[in-house]
A and B are shown apart, each in its own frame.
Chain A
Amino acid sequence: MSAISTLSLGRVFQTSGKAKEVRALAGVSLEIEEGEVRGLLGPNGAGKTTLVKILSTVLLPTEGTATIFGHDVVRDTAAVRAMIGIVFGGDRGLYWQLTARETLEYWAALYRVPAKETKKRVGELLERVGLADRADERVEGFSRGMKQRLHLARGLVANARVLFLDEPTIGLDPIAARDFRTLVKELKGEGRTILLTTHDMAEAEAVCDRVALIDHGRVLAVETPASLARLVSQHERVDFELTGGQEAVLPSLRALPGVAAVNPGPDDNSHRLELTDGAALGGVLQLLVAAGVTSIRTSRPSLEEVYIHMIGDRGLTV
């Protein structure tokens, strides 16, 4: 049985604007196995949070079905709620007047964690997320990173089998985000199923087993991060920088069999060479070295490139 399963899940919102209806989700069918970390990648308004809300029983779907370990999110709400934890990002979802410990103790009561177990579990969670020495300080004094860790601890207080992480690293500095990802990997190691919505490509590549690209309420692709990269380019690319006089190598490169294109790169003097045949890589490298080029790097397409390639460049439109 899949941990999370949706079949043709859809959600339409009624609006008072010009468009009477907004389709936030359309025909979303996903299977997420137990212990998997699935990323949900998409721009603002793609439907990521809508999907999380349906799966966490806060919102009803208008079409299709969704189950958590076989329990329908509409009909078996109580059973579903006992199995899930929700982790927000940012400042939302916390009572600033409570301390970290009080927040977790309260949520333990809401999740019917037996009184005898609460103190111990709360202590362990605070230790685990690195808040043990700040446990009795109020949330209002916490940094963004600390709040995020408290969110995660709160999501774990009922020992949830399934966790929904809704943009959990938004606004975090790189070190805090990295620490958070480490925690997520630990949770995966415990066999928990995690659905992670994010804009952060590095995060998706670092922690997700598979990534679903979503846009306009539809799932565009579900693949491992590496497989997604192959959607943009099957082979490695070669990035290199030319200094004075080395431009002469460019026509020779373009003429090599297996080379698709050589285009200017984002920086001055940088270039990117795309291959159609991986076997041509050796020849390309030999030519560059012979020309005296020293700044050479090979890479595969990043998730960001996949994202932009598939979803498109919207500029600042959200």
Chain B
Amino acid sequence: MIASSEEVKLAIIGCGAITQARYLPAANLLPNLTITHVVDLDAETGHEVANRFQIPEFAREYQQVFGKVDAVVVATPPSSHARISIDCLNHGLHVLCEKPLAVSVMEAKAMISASQRSNRHLAVGMNRRLSWSSQISRRLVQSGVLGDIYRFDIEEGHEFNWPLRTGHIFQDSNAGGVLADTGVHVFDLLLWTLGSPKAKLGLCRTDNWGGVEANAVVELVVEWHSRQTPGGVELSFTRELRNTMRIYGDNGVLEAPILGGLEVSLYLADNPVEPVILTPHHVGPRNRVEEFAVQLSKFVEAVLHDSKTYVTADEALATLSLIEQCHYGGERMGHAWETVHLEPFFEGKGNE
């Protein structure tokens, strides 16, 4: 299948929350994109979603779309991202894969190889970069307004409430937990804002007791203009945290909402108490659906005109590597209220 010069035919594989709440509403905003198929192993959900969004075809197996579409969005649970993406790339389809790109660096590298071999685009869903506050933060940091960057500090934490259809975030030790879910966004935003592809893990502490972590505290060093810049990242699925990114430079501190927003604070060194508040003159994407529309349009541009304005799989590698290091080298947080009296309780207490 070759894309016509004006329109891309797309299948969305996986009909979970991200497809229903983001990709399908976003696709409606784009003139040169037609979703021809939705794919899901659960026929009932797939049919319901196809009917609700007026998608012409439903398929139970993704292989059924081969030869019928130009490109796919892979929005299945992360453990199947690599297998499905590689198969689609090998069958000549361009792939936009939801984050996290893969559950390991090795898988991600195999996906990149498949993309190169097949000469097809492999884009990664990293919508957070597209918010106004993320865009302006990167511009300010890159412009040198803050001077030399010497530290960063990011917190993102909420009581988890995303309506998951499958429990992968809570059951998959590689692709689940707050690091793989939230951390993948936060690490990507940090590296992209600083314009650095290089980061090294210092320390990672999580509250994982043998399942998947709900809280993580990470210390890392990012290379910024050949300087080693240290900083911290705190993530939570159970607590409301500050939810901002702070970048500290010699000339001042920038604070931006980590989830994206329309206000960025600049605490300049001459008056660190009263920030300069920046708000947009022209608003770009105003909400998540519009961010996904921009993300899709960049992918459509790539398919139609071979451009590369999307987030590449190579960029995702650094983030995945950090998360992998956290998983392998993480220490356990010890909270007194959790560990108190955990000694075997039944010793001497059971039936004689």
Report whether chain A binds chain B: no
Which A residues have a C-beta under 8 Å from some C-beta of B?
none
